[in-house]
Amino acid sequence: MTLTPNLTAHWDEPDSYTVAGYERHQGYQALRKAFEMGPDAVINEVKDSGLRGRGGAGFPTGMKWSFVPQGDGKPHYLVVNADESEPGACKDIPLMLASSQHLIEGMIIASYAFRANHGFIYIRGEVPHVIRRMHAAVRDAYAHGYLGKNILGSGFDFDIVVHGGAGAYICGEETALLSSLEGMRGQPRLKPPFPAVAGLYACPTVVNNVETIASVPAIIRNGADWYSSYGTEKSKGIKVFAVSGHVNNPGIFEAPLGITMRELLGYAGGIRDGHSLKFWVVGGSSVPMLTEEHLDAPLSYEGMESVGTMLGTATPMVFDETTSVVRAITGWLDFYKHESCGKCTPCREGTWWIDQLLHDLAAGKGKTEDLATLEQLCAQILGRSFCALGDAAATPYPQALKLFRSEFEAGTHTAANDLFDPAAAVVFSGVKTS
Amino acid sequence: MALTEETRAQLLEIVARYPVPRSALNPMLHLVQSEEGYVSPEGIELCAEIVGLAPAEVAAVATFYTMYKRRPVGEHHIGVCVNPQCGILGGEAIFDALSSDLEIGNDETSADGKITIERIECQAACTYAPVATVDWEFMDDMSVDKMRDVVAKLRSGEEVQSSRGPVVQGFRAAERAIAGMDDGQADAGANNADANMQRGLTVAKEQGMPAVDGGLKS
């Protein structure tokens, strides 16, 4: 399958993020067209395109917009989830740096469609340059009359606020994000009510991922048929993939959904020279890992489901034979333990117990029964935590155990760093072998 | 450094961006950090007064988020990503070297007050692993040697250029940018699309793959 640069098509032009650079390539033409179509037609076009949420969950975008009650007399809000923090996920940050105006035009069109006059971009706090870039991009759009009152004489008013968070992975969960944006601790809320009914300030709110919204202008401009001509039956369209890890040429690749990992690996120059693939994780650390035998499965929502994992963010991390699975899983559990918000017991307590047992195994001091205890712990968290963070924490271990059981068994007598010299997995030279 | 009337004015400026004052708390606390080097009790009280909350309510928010520091941070903040994969591809080795060179541990500051080091989590730059940050600016594709060079420059006051962003300006200046105050650096590095970000585009061009965006259709 060939690559299909769409959002990234003009990244070789240094001003791709400015209104001027964007307008050279049809920028803001979709907005004009949307104003002619009318809001309901825009929603239908996005529905027909088959666009699904690109943040990981894959919910149909047009359907989400149609859940916003109309004529309810309440303000509606669009909140862009730009809290990209999942280990492995690294596509929204580049999009905001280089395709800032795609996101802004998409926000205006989306908000026009479900009748919101106020949009927010919630960006994780640890990326000042991205926050600067989006503030400047919003100013640029105001200066060109694309934001503010009566945009292009349409009678539609729209304002955008850029918001910097403060380092909490949980704020990528949509209701936690809304709590944070309301100036509270970033803890998730019970659903229902869903944000489309009672979101920001208890008003109807759509929370969409950066890539989802940035994909909207091209769909409106070229039409739903154009977009849905790419991808598979159930996974329409084009996706931004980010291939990272032990490959020769890591980076961003835009391709139709349904491309395979084997093809992407080829474009990324293959596994680093002299090494072989051990495992890869397609959707961020929260999805079950895969191996060589899954390289030909289509990278689509249903294709990944068919091999027991999830497409998630579609940002595959690749690890070669020098990597200790026990060390990787322990590292991810360190992350979930640290990021658990503390609201619910299964996640707050469970992540600490899992992490503790994994550290024992990584140190070669585990007990034989720990392997089963860990499975039991994961099963007790999965589906019983308040939000998806607990599920995510319970997911990496069972699959890793299934695929690489002997490495966990070795954890009862041999440290992971003795089985796999950490220096061998390092990608720069000069680190002493142990 | 005490919080001034100017700080108050800037905090009010941040509040004015939002439909509800309390929503401004994240950037307000970043602004406090840019003045104080940490979230000081005085800063919490000022934010509480401005948005009409009890100081305890603001403290409850401030203590939830890891970016808000309860002790003063050094002149520069260095973060090293230790999540898999950065940690495995070299992040752990980089942090260990940094820690032993500076003789400090995680979340500690060198004796001269110049550098605070922190084991950080995924920075959403995985294609550049191992990734570090200086004053939260990207330091992509790092190594132990490159990090030692960065530290030497920071200590001698030489310029350190981030990978996709500006020359680093110090922890406090970064906190101002995170609070959304314009520092004139928004265009640093143009669109920041280096070879890594352009990887797929380059392959597509080299192999003559057709453009996909047909343009406006009625």
Please report whether residue A276 resides in a domain.
Answer: yes
Tell me which chain A residues have a C-beta less than 8 angstroms from the C-beta of B212: 4-6, 9, 230, 238
Asked if residue A364 and residue A265 are part of one domain, the reply reads no
Q: What is the CATH number of the domain that holds B13?
A: 1.10.10.1590
Cβ(A297)–Cβ(A316) under 8 Å? no
Asked if residue A265 and residue A242 are part of one domain, the reply reads yes
Please report whether residue B177 resides in a domain.
Answer: no
* Among the ranges given (A266-270, B58-62, B207-211), the one the predictor scored with the smallest mean pLDDT: B207-211
Which residues does A17 contact at the CB level (< 8 Å), separation at least 6?
A: A97, A98, A99, A100, A101, A133, A137, B191
DSSP sequence for A265-285: HHHTTSBPTT--EEEEESSST
* Of A89, A93, A183, Cβ closest to residue B24: A183
Asked if residue A247 and residue A162 are part of one domain, the reply reads no
Report the distance separating Cα B58 and Cα B45, nearest Å: 8
pLDDT mean across residues, chain A: 97
Report the distance separating Cα A209 and Cα A40, nearest Å: 21
Asked if residue A259 and residue A181 are part of one domain, the reply reads no
Which pair of structure tokens corresponds to residue A372? Answer: 């089963």
The identity of residue A306, as a single letter, is: S
Q: What is the CATH number of the domain that holds A346?
A: 1.20.1440.230
Q: What is the CATH number of the domain that holds A280?
A: 3.10.20.600
Testing the interface with B: which of A200, A426, A434 to mutate, by most B Cβ within 10 A?
A: A426
Do A128 and B19 lie within an 8 Å CB cutoff?
no
Please report whether residue A1 resides in a domain.
Answer: no
Question: Which residues, in sequence order, are bridge partners of residue A251?
Answer: A243
* Pairing, β B115-120 against β B76-81: parallel
Which residue range is the domain that position A282 belongs to? Answer: 238-320
Among A161, A196, A223, which residue terminates a domain?
Answer: A223
Please report whether residue A138 resides in a domain.
Answer: yes
Give B151-196 pLDDT, tens digit per residue. Answer: 999 999 999 999 999 999 999 999 999 999 999 999 999 999 999 9
For chain A, the domain total comes to 3
Do B61 and A184 lie within an 8 Å CB cutoff?
yes
CA dihedral B179, B182, B188, B193 (to 10 degrees): 60
Do A226 and B217 lie within an 8 Å CB cutoff?
yes
Which residue range is the domain that position B162 belongs to? Answer: 76-170
Q: For chain B, how many residues are written?
A: 218
pLDDT band of residue B1 (cuts 50, 70, 90) is low
Asked if residue A261 and residue A153 are part of one domain, the reply reads no
Tell me which chain B residues have a C-beta less than 8 angstroms from the C-beta of A285: 83-84
Asked if residue B96 and residue B161 are part of one domain, the reply reads yes
Report the distance separating Cα B211 and Cα A9, nearest Å: 8
Q: DSSP state, A313?
A: T
Cβ(A187)–Cβ(A176) under 8 Å? yes
Mean pLDDT within A10-38: 97
pLDDT band of residue B2 (cuts 50, 70, 90) is confident
Q: What percent of chain A has pLDDT over 70?
A: 100
pLDDT score recorded for residue A240: 98
β-sheet with B76-81: strand ranges across = B108-109, B115-120, B76-81, B132-134, B137-139
Mean pLDDT within A174-203: 97
SS (H, E, C) chain B: CCCCHHHHHHHHHHHCCCCCHHHHHHHHHHHHHHHHCCCCHHHHHHHHHHHCCCHHHHHHHHCCCCCCCCCCCCCEEEEEECCCCHHHHHHHHHHHHHHHHHCCCCCEECCCCCEEEEEECCCCCHHHCCCEEECCEEECCCCHHHHHHHHHHHHHCCCCECCCCCECCCHHHHHHHHCCCCCCCCCCCCCCCCCCCCHHHHHHHHCCCCCCCCCCCC
Mean pLDDT within A256-275: 98
Asked if residue A403 and residue A255 are part of one domain, the reply reads no
Asked if residue A60 and residue A167 are part of one domain, the reply reads yes
Task: Return the exposure string of A140-169: e unless at least 16 CB atoms fall within 10 Å of the residue's CB, then b.
Answer: bbeebebbeeebeeeebebbbbbbbbbbbb
Residue A224's closest chain B neighbor by CA? Answer: B217
pLDDT score recorded for residue A430: 76
Please report whether residue A193 resides in a domain.
Answer: yes
Q: Does B185 touch chain A (CB under 8 A)?
A: yes
The identity of residue B150, as a single letter, is: V
Report the distance separating Cα B70 and Cα A263, nearest Å: 48
Do B164 and A163 lie within an 8 Å CB cutoff?
no
Asked if residue A339 and residue A311 are part of one domain, the reply reads no
Kindly calculate the radius of gyration of chain B based on its CA atoms and give it in whole angstroms: 20
Please report whether residue B29 resides in a domain.
Answer: yes
Cβ(A301)–Cβ(A52) under 8 Å? yes
For chain B, the domain total comes to 2
Asked if residue B54 and residue B16 are part of one domain, the reply reads yes
- Residue B103 — φ and ψ, nearest 5°? 55, 40
Mean pLDDT within B68-82: 97
pLDDT band of residue A349 (cuts 50, 70, 90) is very high
Please report whether residue B104 resides in a domain.
Answer: yes
CA A100, A105, A108, A112 torsion-angle sign: negative
pLDDT score recorded for residue B129: 97
Asked if residue A182 and residue A34 are part of one domain, the reply reads yes
Among A277, A302, A320, which residue terminates a domain?
Answer: A320
Q: Nearest 5 degrees, angle CA A381-CA A383-CA A388? A: 90
pLDDT score recorded for residue B218: 55
pLDDT band of residue B217 (cuts 50, 70, 90) is low
Among A223, A248, A281, which residue terminates a domain?
Answer: A223
Asked if residue A167 and residue A75 are part of one domain, the reply reads yes
By three-state DSSP, how is residue A398 classified? helix
Please report whether residue B14 resides in a domain.
Answer: yes
Q: What is the CATH number of the domain that holds B163?
A: 3.40.30.10
Asked if residue A253 and residue A188 are part of one domain, the reply reads no
Residue B64's closest chain A neighbor by CA? Answer: A185
Mean pLDDT within B59-67: 98
Please report whether residue B32 resides in a domain.
Answer: yes
Give A152-164 pLDDT, tens digit per residue. Answer: 999 999 999 999 9
Q: Smallest CA–CA separation between A384 and chain B, in Å?
A: 23
Asked if residue A395 and residue A256 are part of one domain, the reply reads no
